[in-house]
Amino acid sequence: MAALSSPSLPAVAAAHLASWLAPLGVSASAFDDSLALINPLWTVHRLHARVVHRRAETASATTFELQAGPAFHGLQPGHHVLVGVDINGVRHRRAYSPRSVAGAPGRFAITVQRQAGGLVSNHLHDRLQVGHHVEVSPPSGAFTLPPTTPPRVLLIGGGSGITPLMAMLLHLQAHAPATRVTLVYFARSRAERIFAAQLEGLARSWPAFRYVPVDSHAHTPPSGGASFASSPVLDEALLTRMAPDWARTPTWCCGPGPLMQAARQLWEQAGQPGLLRLEAFAVARPDAAPHARHAVVLKRAAQAARFEAAGHHTLLEAGEQAGLVLKHGCRQGLCHECSCRLQRGTVRDLLHGTHVSGEGQPIRLCISSALTDLELESLG
């Protein structure tokens, strides 16, 4: 892989200055706020980026090209960044999978798919214009390519799940073009396939790249219960036809839950679960019945709030429905803003599908649902 960028000289200097000012009572945030007044891209603790371009990819997906400051570094293909925006005076953060833009340090692009009823994705589409600034986190995540590129790579995407795979594709084309790469990309139609023209262009100009677009409703059925039994799905027959050596090929898959579930089963049946990496964009929903209710006590400083958590809600949703204002950011288990300590009871961790119980266990309200009555201590 290409060498990662390191922090630039101005970023290192600003970080040193912040540490010298700390003993004088100037907090990192206050120092950042002062820098942001001069130029938002100079901040070193809460990073920012400016929108330099935006373009429509499909009717419901838009690419925003962003310029971050010198403190933003280390972006690898497959990473995510948390993008923060204020909506009605509240800061909301969501993860997006950026790809580097060659030739400009700190320049990257995110592509955002509108989600029906979604708060942040629609806000970005409707409000975020060239010249605006957004908060960005340092890049992170484990859905990345290994340091040594394998000779063959299989990428499987569905819908907006193409974004981290596109970052990998562009990286491989630029830095390891001899890698034999197959991309199987499910979308309802070519019109809904993000980057369709760019992928077709890559397939024409890059001999080691095999592009397999699949028109299918199977993994993303529309609401209303319509049946799409005849749509192609990810199965052994399709993989054997398109990527005969699939079970021995390192594979990255990102897309809707049913697509990733199909991939997980295939690689498990092939006895090679370790060759498959998965990235979920949406956390699984709690699946207990709405009438399964548990009493929750949430302690913060000297105060205690009490609410009931229904089985089909996360603890964050349950607290909000009870009228509490609970600290949160991403609602995806990534920013840790909603962290609490379990003092009593058991929760389901929706990210990993596990149960967590026992005093002192850290949990995140946005990815936990109650399995028993609970006592929690807020860490925010």
Ligand X SMILES: Cc1cc2nc3c(=O)[nH]c(=O)nc-3n(C[C@H](O)[C@H](O)[C@H](O)COP(=O)(O)OP(=O)(O)OC[C@H]3O[C@@H](n4cnc5c(N)ncnc54)[C@H](O)[C@@H]3O)c2cc1C
Nearer to ligand X, 43 or 121 (CB): 121
Nearer to ligand X, 116 or 237 (CB): 116
CA distance linking residue 44 with residue 12, whole number of Å? 9
Nearest 10 degrees: Cα torsion 204, 206, 208, 212: -40
Tokens coding 124: 């970005």
73 binds, among ligand X, ligand FES, none (CB under 5 to 8 A by kind): none
Burial of residue 38 (CB within 10 Å: 0-12, 13-18, 19+) is exposed
Which stretch, 34-42, 112-120, 149-157, 267-275, contacts ligand X (CB under 6 A)?
Answer: 112-120
115 binds, among ligand X, ligand FES, none (CB under 5 to 8 A by kind): ligand X
The answer to whether the beta carbons of residues 252 and 265 sit under 8 Å apart is: no
Amino acid type, 241: R
366 binds, among ligand X, ligand FES, none (CB under 5 to 8 A by kind): ligand FES
Q: How far is the CB of 314 from ligand FES (least distance, A)?
A: 9
Q: How far is the CB of 279 from ligand X (least distance, A)?
A: 6
Which stretch, 90-98, 99-107, 146-154, 351-359, contacts ligand X (CB under 6 A)?
Answer: 90-98
CA distance linking residue 44 with residue 28, whole number of Å? 9
Which stretch, 11-19, 50-58, 115-123, 357-365, contacts ligand X (CB under 6 A)?
Answer: 115-123
> Per rule CB under 6 A, is residue 343 in the interface with ligand X?
no
The distance between the two most distant Cα atoms of the chain, rounded to a whole number of Å, is 68
> Per rule CB under 6 A, is residue 160 in the interface with ligand X?
yes
Q: How far is the CB of 134 from ligand FES (least distance, A)?
A: 17
Burial of residue 340 (CB within 10 Å: 0-12, 13-18, 19+) is buried
Q: How far is the CB of 93 from ligand FES (least distance, A)?
A: 7
Q: Which residue is nearest to ligand X (CB)?
A: 118
> Of residues 331, 347, 348, 366, which one binds ligand X by CB under 6 A?
331
**CA-wise closest residue to 271 among 307, 305, 246, 289:** 246
Burial of residue 100 (CB within 10 Å: 0-12, 13-18, 19+) is buried
Tokens coding 206: 């890059």
> Per rule CB under 6 A, is residue 3 in the interface with ligand X?
no
User: 368 φ, ψ to 5°?
Assistant: -130, 145
Burial of residue 343 (CB within 10 Å: 0-12, 13-18, 19+) is middle
> Per rule CB under 6 A, is residue 374 in the interface with ligand X?
no
296 binds, among ligand FES, ligand X, none (CB under 5 to 8 A by kind): none
Kindly list the residues in this chain that would bind ligand X in the complex (CB under 6 A): 80, 94-97, 110-113, 115, 117-122, 160, 163, 279, 281-282, 331-332
